[in-house]
Amino acid sequence: MAAAVLGALLLAGCGGQNAEKPPAPQGQAGQAGAPDAAAPGAPAPAGGGAPAPVDAAQNGTGGGAGKAGPALARSEPQKIAIPSLGLTSTLETLRQNADGTMQTPKDPALAGWYEPGPTPGSQGPAVIAGHVTWNGASAVFEKLKTMKGGDTIKVTRKDGKTVTFTVDRVGEYPKAEFPTLEVYKNLDHAGLRLVTCGGDFDPKKHYYDSNVVVFARMTDAA
């Protein structure tokens, strides 16, 4: 499956209605591949290579997810549940705008799955994104940064299967240092990345200066 990969999935619009749009996707890659190049203004890995593992003391919390389960066939996700956050959300389908930028969820209370990428449970890093706040009010992924390694995420798919993902780690990155390759690189298992904004919010620009990324892998399917 050829997938248009968003260079960093910045979700610059996740903090307010009038925020800037995310950057355009760059390049075509195989399933879960990394982009060919970063768009102007889009973050790229420092030094041109794969990013170093997340430092749990500075950028996130680790924990390890254990062995991944075998990947499933492609099937669109319908709902996400995160027990540790008391969160349940149906999923919007996120595609690309006419200008090539990624859509963000229209409803700040709902998360959205990035449709050009893998589906949760199929091989590769599926991406689910959501707003952290919206016009000053809490949004669906407001508490995402509080997740820890070992937490579980459940995604219900159109084929009736519920896939369980276990969190490996959680990181917060300045947008200029977004770990693009680490998020979108090829995987030999079914992975999941949850993405929202983080860091400081500039009310004049309607802009957060960082991103929060949850890295998880499938550990069960029923």
Token couple for 186: 């090829």
pLDDT of 206? 83
Q: What residues contact 72, with CB distance under 8 A and at least 6 apart?
A: 121, 122, 157, 159, 161, 163, 190, 221
**Cα gap 162→158, rounded to integer Å:** 9
Length of the chain: 222
Q: What is the pLDDT of residues 86-145, one digit of tens each?
A: 999 999 999 977 876 668 899 999 999 999 999 999 999 999 999 999 988 999 999 999
| φ and ψ of 111, to 5 deg | -90, 170
> Exposed (0-12), middle (13-18) or buried (19+): which is 141, by Cβ within 10 Å?
buried
pTM of the entire predicted model = 0.76
pLDDT of 96? 78
pLDDT of 24? 31
Domains and CATH numbers, the chain: 3-36+61-221 (2.40.260.10)
Instruction: Identify the segments of the chain with pLDDT beneath 70.
Output: 1-66, 100-102
Q: If DSSP states are collapsed to H, E and C, what string results for 196-210?
A: EEEEEEECCCCEEEE
